[in-house]
Amino acid sequence: MRYSLVDIKLFVAVADAGNVSRGAATCFLAPSSASLRIKQLEETLGTQLFKREARGVSLTRAGQVMLEHCRRCLAELEQMHANLAPYADGVKTQVTLFANSTAIASFLPGDLQVFLRAYPDVRVSLEERLSHDIVSAVAEGRADLGVVTWDDEHPQLNFHPYREDELVVVTPMASSVGKNGTTSFTSCLSQPFISLNSGTAIHTFLVGKAASMGHQLDVRIQVAGFSAVVALVQSGAGIAIVPRSVLSNLKCDNVNVLTLCEPWARRQLRICARRESEKLSGHAKALLRLLCDGTPSLIEAAATA
C-alpha cells in the first residue's frame, strides 16, 4: 500500500476534527498538502473516505471502517513504544504471560506481587485471552507462559496444576432461582444475565454452553469487571455466573451464592509452557516455578537454574 504513517495520522485527525484545515494543523501540515494526501489515500484505497460538505467533511461508510482500523493500528504502535520503553530504562528482560479472566481476577495478582518484589527489574506483560488462544500463543512462542482452563494435551506443551476453582451462580436475595443452595444451568437460562463483556473467556464459555443446549443466554447488561457484575446483581438487574475465587475480594452483601450443579462448573487452572525448557529465559523459569509450587523461596533457585 502506497501510504505512510503520516497519512494515517492525518486521516484520523481530519475525521476527528470534521475539517481538513483543522486536521492538517494538528499534524503540522498545510491545508493544501493535507488535501493532496487525503486525495492520494483515497486513490490508493480505491474508495472515497470523506464526503465534502459546505462546512467541512464527514466520513463515508468506507471512511468509518478505515477509521476503526487506523485507531487500532495507532494504538498498537503506541503499545509497541510502551513495551520497548522499559528496556531504555534498564529493564533487562520481559516475561510474557497470557491468562484467562478467572486467573487474572483472582490468583495471579498475589503471585505476581511476590515475583516482582524479587525481580524489580523484570517486566511482566500480562494479557487476558481465551484458553484456546493462550495454548496456541505459547506453542507458537508468542507467549512464554499461559494460565488456562484446559483439559486436553498438546504435543508441544507441558501442563502443570495451578489452582482449583468453581463457577457459582450469584442471584439477588429475592430471586426464585435455586433450592437448598444449589441450582442447575438449565434453571438459570430463564433469567436475565449480568456478564463480562463479549470476548472475555467466561462470557464466551457460557454463551457456548447455552448454545450447545439449544438456548441463547439472555445477557441484559455487559460490564468490564466482576465487581460491577456483583453490584448489578445486588441491584436486582439479573443473575450472574462467576468464579467463586473472585468473590473473596468483593462485597457480596444482599446476594445468594449458589453451587452450580454441573460437571463443568469445577475448573482446574493449569500452567502451560513449551516442552523445550531451554527456550525459556531464567526469569520465565522462575515465574513458572513460583506459579507451579506457590513457594516464593524457590524463585531465586529457578532463575539461576
pLDDT one-digit tens code per residue, 23-39: 999 999 999 999 999 99
pLDDT at 91: 60
**Fold of the 92-163+267-304 domain:** D-Maltodextrin-Binding Protein; domain 2 (3.40.190)
Cα 256 to the center of its chain, rounded Å: 28
pLDDT at 285 over 60: yes
Domain 5-87 bears CATH identifier 1.10.10.10? yes
Q: How far apart are CA 114 and CA 127, in angstroms?
A: 19
Mean pLDDT, the chain, whole residue set = 89
Q: What is the pLDDT of residues 25-84, one digit of tens each?
A: 999 999 999 999 999 999 999 999 999 998 899 999 999 999 999 999 998 888 788 777
Which pLDDT band holds residue 305 (cuts at 50, 70, 90)? very low
Domain ranges of the chain: 5-87, 92-163+267-304, 164-265
Mean pLDDT of 200-209: 89
pLDDT at 90: 63
pLDDT at 1: 62
pLDDT at 287 over 90: yes
The percent of residues in the chain predicted with pLDDT above 90, rounded, is 66
pLDDT at 294 over 60: yes
Q: How far apart are CA 25 and CA 75, in angstroms?
A: 21
- Residue 262 has which C-alpha cell? 454441573
The pTM for the full model equals 0.65
Q: What are phi and psi of 257, to 5 degrees?
A: -115, 110
Q: Is 214 helix (H, G, I), strand (E, B) or coil?
A: coil
Contacts of 218 (CB under 8 A, 6+ apart): 189, 191, 192, 193
Tell whether the torsion through CA atoms of 21, 22, 27 and 28 is positive or negative: positive
pLDDT at 299 over 60: no
Q: How far apart are CA 17 and CA 31, in angstroms?
A: 13
Beta bridge partners of 168: 242, 259
pLDDT at 89: 66
pLDDT at 280 over 50: yes
Contacts of 136 (CB under 8 A, 6+ apart): none
**Fold of the 164-265 domain:** D-Maltodextrin-Binding Protein; domain 2 (3.40.190)
pLDDT at 105: 86
Percentages helix, strand, coil for the chain, rounded to the nearest 5?
A: 50, 25, 30
Same fold? 5-87, 92-163+267-304: no
pLDDT at 18 over 90: yes
Q: What is the pLDDT of residues 121-172, one digit of tens each?
A: 888 989 988 888 999 999 999 999 999 988 888 999 999 999 999 999 999 9
Q: Among the listed ranges 50-64, 91-105, 236-250, 251-265, which one has the minimum average pLDDT value? A: 91-105
pLDDT at 302 over 70: no
The percent of residues in the chain predicted with pLDDT above 70, rounded, is 93
Mean pLDDT of 101-125: 89
Q: Among the listed ranges 27-31, 270-274, 275-279, which one has the minimum average pLDDT value? A: 275-279
